[in-house]
Structure 1
Amino acid sequence: MKDIARRVFDIEIESLLHVASQLDDEFDRVIQAILKGTGKVIITGIGKSGLIGKKIAATLSSTGTSSFFMHPGEAFHGDLGMIGADDIVIMISYSGETDEVLKLIPYLKWNKNILIALTGNAESTIARNSDYHLNVSIKHEACPLKLAPTSSTTAALVMGDAIAVALMESREFKETDFARFHPGGSLGRKLVLKVKDLMRTDNLPFINTDATFTELVLKMSEGRIGMVIVGTGEKVEGIVTDGDLRRALVQIADTSKLNISDMMNRNPVIVDENEYLNTADNLMIDKKIVTVLVGSAHKHTVKGVYQIYHN
């Protein structure tokens, strides 16, 4: 079975290399046409090509190019009304002769839409009736019968990814842009949310420098953040982490001789509450810590704490 899998990979990789070798200036013209367009990019196709089209439309939409998929069969029952004159239509058909897609062309030309064909046949009807043609022809399908779309759908999928990435780079699409389209994902949370949105402000474990060892341990346990904050919110003198506590006990076993002033870190990391989560997380990873104080490093004031292992 592993040999079969490797054969499939080899055939599809060879197919992608073949498609890549056929790329020419037409790809540049397609990208420029989309960049100059003022409407949406509509993807259409049927069967396996339709499934690939749905993925391409989703990728475009999430990376800065307004796009949606239109089923060619549904188009004849009202969905043609979704197409504006400024929209660009990408038609996916490996043969270039798919009947359901061909039937769309007269209306799309009447509507003055720019047409882009993704086919494996530059002389096909769909290719010849389009403004631009991207050649996704392959040498072999990975299917042993050479019938089921395998390499050909992979080629169309990767061509769609190439279009999306080229548009992203042309538009200088940034992580923050991506996050705005994915507010529910982890990246969106990190790049849209700020530290103040997830910091903890209630029952912070403040303690005085003259507190006893027992008071220190109890306060650290109550705080449940792996540290205590020495001082007050208006004036932070330092922090004592559970690691600081363990190291102190290794050196001095007699707890009556331990004092907070000797154990505490007088220069704790303090981040501003308006810092983005992504920036705060990267800082914490760099310093190998999981909790930071939130406030003013300059004034040594604290409003809350933020932990990197937030939900």
Structure 2
Amino acid sequence: MYSPPQSLDNEAILALARQTIGTEAAAVQQLISGLDAGFAEAVRVLLQMEGRAIVTGIGKSAIIAQKIVATFNSTGTPAVFMHAADAIHGDLGIIQPGDVVVCLSKSGTTPEIKVLVPLIKMMGSKLIAIVSNVESYLAQQADFVVRATVEQEACPNNLAPTSSTTTQLVMGDALAICLLKARGFTPQDFAKYHPGGALGKRLYLRVEDVINPNVKPRVAPNSSLEEVILSISSNLLGATAVLDGDRIVGIVTDGDLRRLLQRTHSITGVVASDVMGHSPKTIEAEALAIDAFNLMERYKITQLLVTDQGRYAGMVHVHDLLREGIVG
């Protein structure tokens, strides 16, 4: 039976939270001194494997294994999760020639692990153990041991997996980052695996993907003010490019028109070249959309003229970028 709930004031709650965080932080800090050749060898075998990393565990370790699989896959190391209990009931077929098995366990002595390990070795797969007890059955049978030793769980009863699962997670991240670095994994590679959401769009979405190629507001330097206003209004981009032939010579924004009216009440004979801004900011169509946004931010503007190998290709508005969700 559960004991009656204790009444904790705010200070007691915060003290317990600080103690929990401190215990787990200390466990993570101790991992640094525990790093040895076994970790480096594990990185090398994962880097050189011809198949995938099969990451397995039981209980809370299985949940951490799933996160490690997600991190591996997103950083260039192909990985598959296999629950240790399910493995001995049919899922062992997940393991294929060339795969490397990564097994997570605090004790290294659970019944499922003891059944699973000999089967893995019979299949000829290399076995990496991420384990707290380096004297355990799992550690003794593994080809490579990654130490995730903890002296104390953050749980006051020293029972609930807390510090131990945190250290497993951290060691999994350490493996993933070492593999990422060894593979020369680039932001462009990262983008291939993260096409959704703002993060992915920042890494792959280009200006040419955002603009409407059929909307290219433009006037000539000698175009009348009426023609300028019509070009701005009809294209709903708040500006129009001023082109002399194929050469961009300026831009007229709706702000330029407002400032003109503040300066003078007579607009008779005014043409585009009288009101345009010279040397407008441009960006190449193949540039990343996030670079266009950053350029607008830097110069406090809302439009950029887009060029394709130097030729006018359209206009991108800050609203186009916000609509794509590349910024919050």
Fold agreement, TM-score > 0.5: yes
Q: Which of 229, 248, 254 lines up with 2:265 in the alignment?
A: 254
Q: Are residues 129 and 210 of structure 1, via their aligned partners in 2, closer, same or farther at CA, if it must alter by over 3 Å?
A: same
Residue 6 of structure 1: how far off its partner (Å): 2.4
Matching of residue 157 in structure 1 with residue 175 in structure 2:
no
Q: Are residues 85 and 202 of structure 1, via their aligned partners in 2, closer, same or farther at CA, if it must alter by over 3 Å?
A: closer
Partner secondary structure for residue 262 of structure 1: helix
Partner secondary structure for residue 100 of structure 1: helix
Matching of residue 189 in structure 1 with residue 198 in structure 2:
no
Partner secondary structure for residue 65 of structure 1: coil
Give the 5 Å matches for 1:94-133. 94-133=106-145
Q: Are residues 169 and 93 of structure 1, via their aligned partners in 2, closer, same or farther at CA, if it must alter by over 3 Å?
A: same
Residue 163 of structure 1: how far off its partner (Å): 0.5
Counterparts of 2:50 and 2:245, CA distance in 1:
53
Paired residue type of 2:159: L
Which ranges in structure 2 are unaligned for 5 or more consecutive residues?
Answer: 1-12
Q: Which of 218, 224, 228 lines up with 2:236 in the alignment?
A: 224
Deviations 1:106-155 (Å, cap 9, x if unpaired)? Answer: 11111111111111110011111101111111232222222111111111
Counterparts of 1:77 and 1:169, CA distance in 2:
37
Partner secondary structure for residue 256 of structure 1: coil
Matching of residue 302 in structure 1 with residue 323 in structure 2:
no
Q: Which moved more, 1:223-232 or 1:150-159?
A: 223-232
Counterparts of 2:266 and 2:116, CA distance in 1:
83
Question: When the two structures are superposed, what TM-score results if normalisation uses the length of structure 1?
Answer: 0.89
Q: Which moved more, 1:22-31 or 1:124-133?
A: 22-31
Paired residue type of 1:26: G
Counterparts of 1:13 and 1:207, CA distance in 2:
64
Residue 239 of structure 1: how far off its partner (Å): 0.7
Q: Check the 8 A contact 2:219/2:272 in 1, yes or no.
A: no
Task: Name the Cα RMSD after superposition.
Answer: 2.4
Matching of residue 68 in structure 1 with residue 84 in structure 2:
no
Q: Check the 8 A contact 1:233/1:303 in 2, yes or no.
A: no
Q: Check the 8 A contact 1:294/1:305 in 2, yes or no.
A: yes
Residue 305 of structure 1: how far off its partner (Å): 1.8
Q: Which of 276, 290, 293 lines up with 2:305 in the alignment?
A: 293
The size of the alignment, in residue pairs, is 308
Deviations 1:59-88 (Å, cap 9, x if unpaired)? Answer: 001100000100112212322112113111
Counterparts of 1:157 and 1:228, CA distance in 2:
54
Partner residue of 1:207? 219
Counterparts of 2:191 and 2:111, CA distance in 1:
39
Counterparts of 1:30 and 1:297, CA distance in 2:
48
Q: Check the 8 A contact 2:148/2:164 in 1, yes or no.
A: yes
Give the 5 Å matches for 1:52-67. 52-67=64-79
Q: Which moved more, 1:35-44 or 1:136-145?
A: 136-145
Deviations 1:28-53 (Å, cap 9, x if unpaired)? Answer: 11111111211111100111110000
Counterparts of 2:244 and 2:313, CA distance in 1:
10
Which ranges in structure 1 are unaligned for 5 or more consecutive residues?
Answer: none
Partner secondary structure for residue 103 of structure 1: helix
Partner residue of 2:30? 18
Q: Which moved more, 1:181-190 or 1:103-112?
A: 181-190
Q: Check the 8 A contact 1:206/1:232 in 2, yes or no.
A: no
Q: Which moved more, 1:237-246 or 1:67-76?
A: 237-246
Partner residue of 1:2? 14
Counterparts of 1:274 and 1:104, CA distance in 2:
52
Q: Are residues 179 and 39 of structure 1, via their aligned partners in 2, closer, same or farther at CA, if it must alter by over 3 Å?
A: same
Residue 287 of structure 1: how far off its partner (Å): 4.0
Partner secondary structure for residue 147 of structure 1: coil
Q: Check the 8 A contact 2:130/2:145 in 1, yes or no.
A: yes
Q: Are residues 238 and 84 of structure 1, via their aligned partners in 2, closer, same or farther at CA, if it must alter by over 3 Å?
A: same
